[in-house]
Amino acid sequence: MKNSVKTAIASEGRIEVKNTTCYMCACRCGIRVTLRDGEVRYIQGNPEHPLNKGVICAKGASGIMKQYSPARLTKPLRRKEGALRGDAQFEPISWDEAFQIMEDRLKPLRETDPKKFALFTGRDQMQALTGLFAKQFGTPNYAAHGGFCSVNMAAGMIYTIGGSFWEFGGPDLDRAKLFIMIGTAEDHHSNPMKIALSNFKRNGGRFISINPVRTGYSAIADEWVPIKPGTDGALILAIIHELILTGLFDREFLVQYTNAAELVSTDEASDDFGLFVRTDIPVDPDCFDPQDRVWWDRHQEKAVHSRTEGVEPRLLGEFKLSDGRHAKPSFQLLKERVEQYTPEWAENITGIPAETIKRLAHEMGITARDELIELPIAWTDAWGKDHDTITGNPVAFHSMRGTAAHSNGFQTIRALSILMTILGTIDRPGGFRHKAPFPRPIPPCAKTPKGPEGVKPNTPLGGMPLGWPADPDDLFVDEQGEPVRIDKAFSWEFPLSAHGLMHNAITNAWRGDPYKIDTLLIFMANMAWNSSMNTADVRKMLNDKDENGEYKIPYIIVADAFQSEMTAYADLILPDTTYLERHDVMSMLDRPISEFDGPVDSVRIPVVPPTGDCKPFQEVLIEMGYRLKLPAFTDKDGKRKYRNYPDFIVNYETEPGSGIGFLAGWRGQGGEKFMKGEPNPNQWEMYEKNNCVYQYHLPKSYQYMRNWNRGYLNWAQEHRLMRYAEPINIHLYSEILMKFRRAAQGKTEGKQPPDHLRKRVETYFDPLPFYFEPLETQLTDKQKYPLNAITQRPMAMYHSWDSQNAWLRQIHTYNFMHVHPSTAKAAQIEDGDWMWAESMHGKVRCLARYSEAVEPGTIWTWNAVGKSKGAWRLDDNANESEKGFLLNHLIAEELPAHKAGEHISNSDPITGQAGWYDVRVRIYKANDDEEKVSFPQFNAMPALPGTGKTKKWLAFFAGIFAKGKP
């Protein structure tokens, strides 16, 4: 350190600085990579990037250790002849061989029965491409992580307000005064959330966290409200109860922008019971959501066409229409619904004192009403009315998997959306704000095929693999009402499973229910470990054989970048590049990184060459698309359409001449257009010059109230973000859900659920939010299994990826089970003891850690820190496998057999969202004579060919000529 300044500046070596986009997690911050002699020397946040504004996180700053990790796969590998799956015996092959193997396998499938090929991807960021590939192949069996991640969040909110948390919208902390975070540990909006939270706190905002655990973000909350897992619905409904009781809701907002005042037919006997009363004014047949509902005029005391200028409707009451039918405004129905949900009732369920619940409601209501924001921004609403200002009620919420990952999550999140709505905070300053391409119509227009006829040999799928059903006829089921997809998505078991049910794909394929498949391609998902429920059994299914000695899942291809647990079960391994080695796009067709004030998309541009024989999976898909002659990848004469992935990105259009491609920025011949425009041959260069990111700032008057903002809606329609430019009114009362209920009640003509599911659909498709115990809890003996067990994401680890990262694994080398001392002591467990946690489905032995920061009825651990022996190139005695453990062993992918049937996924009955956080457990001390290692243990996985050497010690110093390099 002598002349540190001088030596640093003069440090020998060739220095280069390049911009790209981080992928140490799904947040996608802009990064600036400094190379010395071609070796990565420093990765910093790009100060000019709109998302992270120069900051970086623990993972992002450890990218070097990912790039040079010994766990990296560098060669295509084929399972050795005679070796068993799971034994991880592989031999290196060439890419030519790998492509040939895939071609030979997939071509016949496509020619006969494309659904025998299933493609499932994990937490990837290229669903636009993987989805396109699946669709072109013609298989319906495609999904990404959404179903086991947070589809409840997406669906619950999108079916209510047309937008959602997750990557589609968020809290406007710049202007909020009160912020309530429910069930979030570390989200996809990692760095931006941290930036916003600290600014919010510094500006004097009040931050309340509702979470069974107080760590991370919750640590800096002004108030922590510990809640029992799975009971947020009860809390939120009680808050709504209190807000309606005290009149602390935004009447004007409800009237104009939601269906609160619209009348619902309430005569049980009438044909349209539960549906909105409609006028007979003619509607445009092309219209998505016809504005043909009625209000009850408060002054004239009669039904009128909704939103008639000058009319003030009633929100409460029951009215007799001129034809004698009875009807109530949906707000009246909501009020009736929440009458039973008193704070005292909720206290017993949530463990939160009734007084606190009332105070929370009052804080929200009073802040919303008394701290009104008026921005001097003129705008015009969808009905043509001009407004001089934008109003905001500065109460913001954020929520993720704490509410989503429960089987009652959809209704809970509906309740949350309604709470946000009655406070008047949707797409308004200080509240919830959309991010392009949201808001969408409710529900969004994408649809799957409606039956098996959508799947034909040698033909692209007759619809999207994933979509948003608007009524029962949209379901993807056969004549008998049985699923067409392997994961049973869009069937009567999970009608609104907008993201599929990846967590059941392996189990279903293994059982051959609803049918057998041939080839399963898993991209970037660790399904043999942390992203499966019931991990130990899933591992058995992956190498289970039938009577003929054939694997039940005949062929498994894994595209991964590391020696994960999943690779052991592959027949063919495709080594992917790292994020520093490839081109990538964060596309508007997928989940872009848009900001509140306009669309943003971004790219990755390689900063270092691929390692070994690594090949970007994008290139694999383009190549396979050509070899299989998929129309999108070949021209009319069957010739290759795209040289490579960058070429594809530049030239691909959703339809010939549509002008819509994967990237929105710098379109048109010279890059002068955006969102829509002819391919621009220099598009990549333009992104590169602009920090790899494209950002469009909407005019101020288009930035708010976008569900009803004429200017914005027209703009969005013009730029083809949306087909319709109609107002997107909020569904306080969900007629869509009611349609499914009516089908289950046998009141409709169209598709009907199989009988064993009628009751289930009828119960859960309630058009108004209601509280029920998570399904698994309902089926558990709670005397025997009194505790909830949940996981959280550690900020310094991304799922299972980072145990191969020499720096990050020092921070989380293994995991403890955090238990409140009173709970632990009752089970004679001391701090640091080995203990057992046991559910109906399995048990784990783990280390106990006392904590005062957890609700005593809950135990928790970090997600995915535990590892299977030998995976990730860790030594066999690494702490991750000896002391670390996975909670997934306690969680089943299927519910115990019950009235609705056998083999029903442990998921939300509406969306198919995996119920990760519903599991109930009991705990007890491990005997002193038991082994001091975690349970279960698995056979050690050998090092795969092509992976690196693990040194005894490491002294990373970038640059070949750097002095002191070991």
Partner 1 sequence: MTQLALVIDLNVCVGCHACVTSCKEWNTSGPAGSMCDDNPYGKDPTGTFFNRVQTYEIGEFPNTETLHFPKSCLHCEDPPCVPVCPTGASYKRKEDGIILVDYDKCIGCRYCSWACPYGVREIDEHLKVMKKCTLCVDRIYDETLPEAERKPACVLACPTSARLFGDVHDPESAISVTIREEGGYQLMPEWGTHPSNHYLPRRKTHQHIHEDELQRADNPLKKEQRGPSTPIDAPTLDDSTSW
Partner 2 sequence: MHPAFSVIFLTTLIGVGQGIFLALFTGQSYSAVELLPTQDSTRFYGNAAFIALGFLIGGLIASFFHLGHPERAWRAASQWRTSWLSREVIVLPIMMGLVFIYAIMHHFGWDSVLLTTDTGAQLSLTLIIATLGMFTTFALFICTGMVYACLKFLQEWHTPLTIINYTLFGTASGFILMTAFANTSAPDLMNFYGIWASIITLAVFVTRSASLIRNAQIKHKSTIQTAIGVRHSRIQQKSMGFMGGSVNTRDFFHHVSLIFMTKMKWIFMVLVFPVPLMLLWMGMETHSTALLFAAFVVQYVGLLAERWFFFAQANHPQNLYYQTV
Ligand X SMILES: Nc1nc2c(c(=O)[nH]1)N[C@H]1C(S)=C(S)[C@@H](COP(=O)(O)OP(=O)(O)OC[C@H]3O[C@@H](n4cnc5c(=O)[nH]c(N)nc54)[C@H](O)[C@@H]3O)O[C@H]1N2
Q: Which does 28 bind (CB under 5 to 8 A by kind): ligand X, ligand SF4, partner 2, none?
A: ligand SF4
CA angle 250, 253, 256 (to 5 degrees): 145
Give the range of 143-151, 403-411, 659-667, 875-883 binding Mo ion by CB under 5 A: 143-151
Q: What is the DSSP letter of 552?
A: S
Answer positive or negative: Cα dihedral of 450, 453, 456, 459: negative
Q: Kindly state whether residue 486 participates in binding ligand X, applying the rule CB under 6 A.
A: no
Residues 803, 874 contacting (CB under 8 angstroms): yes
Report the distance separating Cα 701 and Cα 134, nearest Å: 39
Considering beta carbons, is residue 186 or 838 the nearer one to ligand SF4? 186
Q: Kindly state whether residue 182 participates in binding ligand X, applying the rule CB under 6 A.
A: yes
Q: Which does 84 bind (CB under 5 to 8 A by kind): partner 2, Mo ion, ligand SF4, none?
A: none
**CB 252 to partner 1: min, Å:** 8
CA angle 911, 913, 916 (to 5 degrees): 155
Considering beta carbons, is residue 37 or 513 the nearer one to partner 1? 37
The residue type at 949:
K
SS3 624: helix
**CB 167 to ligand X: min, Å:** 10
Report the distance separating Cα 182 and Cα 659, nearest Å: 40
Q: Kindly state whether residue 222 participates in binding partner 2, applying the rule CB under 8 A.
A: no
Q: Total number of residues binding partner 2 (CB under 8 A)?
A: 11
Report the distance separating Cα 37 and Cα 15, nearest Å: 6
Q: Which does 814 bind (CB under 5 to 8 A by kind): partner 2, Mo ion, partner 1, none?
A: partner 2
Q: Kindly state whether residue 344 participates in binding partner 2, applying the rule CB under 8 A.
A: no
Task: Give the nearest residue (CB) to Mo ion.
Answer: 149
What torsion, rounded to 10 degrees, do the Cα atoms 873, 877, 882, 886 define? 10
Considering beta carbons, is residue 139 or 218 the nearer one to partner 1? 218
CA angle 54, 55, 60 (to 5 degrees): 115
Q: What is the DSSP letter of 573?
A: E
Report the distance separating Cα 316 and Cα 419, nearest Å: 17
**CB 916 to ligand X: min, Å:** 5
Residues 36, 962 contacting (CB under 8 angstroms): yes
Q: Kindly state whether residue 249 participates in binding partner 1, applying the rule CB under 8 A.
A: yes
**CB 813 to partner 2: min, Å:** 4
Q: Total number of residues binding partner 1 (CB under 8 A)?
A: 109
Q: Which does 213 bind (CB under 5 to 8 A by kind): partner 2, ligand SF4, ligand X, none?
A: ligand X
From the list 468, 399, 436, 417, the residue with the least C-alpha distance to 157 is 417
SS3 100: helix
Q: Which of 384, 810, 899, 929 binds partner 2 (CB under 8 A)?
A: 810
Kindly state the tokens that stand for 447.
């649809």
Restricted to residues 789-848, the positions that interact with ligand X (CB under 6 A) are 790-793, 795, 797-801
Q: Kindly state whether residue 98 participates in binding ligand X, applying the rule CB under 6 A.
A: no
Pairing relationship of beta strands 395-399 and 178-182 according to DSSP bridges: parallel
Per-residue binding letters, 186-205, with ligand SF4 (x by CB under 6 A): ----xx--------------
Considering beta carbons, is residue 691 or 815 the nearer one to ligand X? 815
**CB 891 to partner 2: min, Å:** 25
**CB 174 to partner 1: min, Å:** 15
Q: What is the DSSP letter of 536?
A: H
Helix axes 354-370, 232-246, angle to 10 degrees: 60
**CB 227 to partner 1: min, Å:** 11
Kindly state the tokens that stand for 347.
């206290």
Restricted to residues 844-903, the positions that interact with partner 2 (CB under 8 A) are 849-853, 879
Restricted to residues 194-213, the positions that interact with ligand X (CB under 6 A) are 210-213
Report the distance separating Cα 859 and Cα 321, nearest Å: 54
Q: Which does 29 bind (CB under 5 to 8 A by kind): Mo ion, ligand X, ligand SF4, none?
A: ligand SF4
Q: Identify the bridge partners of residue 384 per DSSP, sorted by sequence position.
A: none
Q: Kindly state whether residue 814 participates in binding partner 2, applying the rule CB under 8 A.
A: yes
What torsion, rounded to 10 degrees, do the Cα atoms 706, 708, 712, 715 define? 130
Restricted to residues 804-833, the positions that interact with partner 1 (CB under 8 A) are 804, 806-811, 813, 820
Chain centroid, CA 34 distance in Å: 32
Q: Which does 951 bind (CB under 5 to 8 A by kind): ligand SF4, Mo ion, partner 1, none?
A: partner 1
**CB 945 to ligand X: min, Å:** 17
Considering beta carbons, is residue 219 or 960 the nearer one to partner 2? 219
Residue 194 to residues 51, 57, 169, 218, 447, Cα–Cα distance (Å): 11, 10, 16, 12, 36
Q: What is the DSSP letter of 535?
A: H
Q: Which residues bind ligand X (CB under 6 A)?
A: 25-26, 122-123, 145, 148-150, 182-188, 190, 210-213, 227, 229-230, 232, 400-403, 406, 523-526, 530-531, 559-562, 564, 566, 576, 578-579, 617, 790-793, 795, 797-801, 860, 863, 887-888, 916-917
Contact residues toward Mo ion (CB under 5 A) are 149
Residue ranges binding ligand SF4 (CB under 6 A): 22, 24-25, 27-29, 52, 56-57, 59-60, 190-191
What does the binding site for partner 2 look like in residue numbers (CB under 8 A)?
810-814, 849-853, 879
